[in-house]
Structure 1
Amino acid sequence: MNPILTSIVLLIMSNVFMTFAWYAHLKELNTAPWFIAAIISWLVAFLEYMFQVPANRIGYTVMSIGQLKIIQEIITLSVFVPFAFFYLKEPLKLDYLWAGLCMLGAVYFMFRDKIA
């Protein structure tokens, strides 16, 4: 499989776990002591690392660290927005769109040597 595509798929899986590790406790464990939420979040984050580490190692064979990082940020926003809307019931705001457009600009600058 293409290393860029493999890296992206693994980063998507990684981000799903990390988003749950960072934010799901706000809904599911909001009455539990913070240290219980932290331990459970850490266990979920372990799964995130099982996808993130190979994703970065594979991606780094064909992309610069800056390119890999901006792809990670795009994926993070792409996972976070549906999570916030569907899971946490947060309202959608145009700010997500503006942030996404700014990030597309960042993608252009990080990949412009490969585009031109």
Structure 2
Amino acid sequence: MSFAFILLIISNCFMTLAWYGHLKFLHDAPLWQAVLFGWAIALLEYSFMIPATRLLDAQGWSLGQMKITQEVMTLMVFVPFMIYLFKQPFKLDYLWAGCCLLGCVYFVFRSQNA
């Protein structure tokens, strides 16, 4: 299971870069270049995401469990990305958002035993 999490983290790094990296690295480029930049990086993201979800599926995870776990990892990757690459200030609200996601994790995993 931990290998799947490593793949998910790598996947999220690529996807965050695909979605927002053009704002940093191609800010003045034409839109079509930003789209191609995003697509090229998203291809790498899929190369990690698909094996991760297959591993989790083979371990009996539901789609809801996989998606909520993905969202938690997205926040874990996005906040440092935003702070270090874009020099955005940290806000306590990001911590509260993370706590809300932990609540989502609790409920989606609790239901497997109910």
TM-score range, shorter chain: over 0.9
Q: Number of paired residues?
A: 113
- Could you tell me which runs of 5 or more consecutive residues in structure 2 were left unpaired when the two chains were aligned: none
2:37 matched to which residue of 1? Answer: 40
2:27 matched to which residue of 1? Answer: 30
- Is residue 82 of structure 2 the alignment partner of residue 84 of structure 1? yes
The one-letter amino acid paired with 2:18 is A
Pick the aligned partner of 1:100 from 98, 101, 106. 98
Instruction: Indicate how the Cα distance of structure 1 residues 81 and 115 shifts in structure 2: closer, same or farther if over 3 A, else same.
Output: farther
The percentage of counterpart residues that share the same residue type is 53
- Could you tell me which runs of 5 or more consecutive residues in structure 1 were left unpaired when the two chains were aligned: none
After TM superposition, the structure 1 = structure 2 runs for residues 57-76 of structure 1, keeping only pairs within 5 Å, are 57-62=54-59, 63-76=61-74
Task: Report the Cα distance in structure 1 between the residues aligned to 2:57 and 2:94, rounded to whole angstroms.
Answer: 28
Point out the more displaced range, 53-62 or 81-90. Answer: 53-62
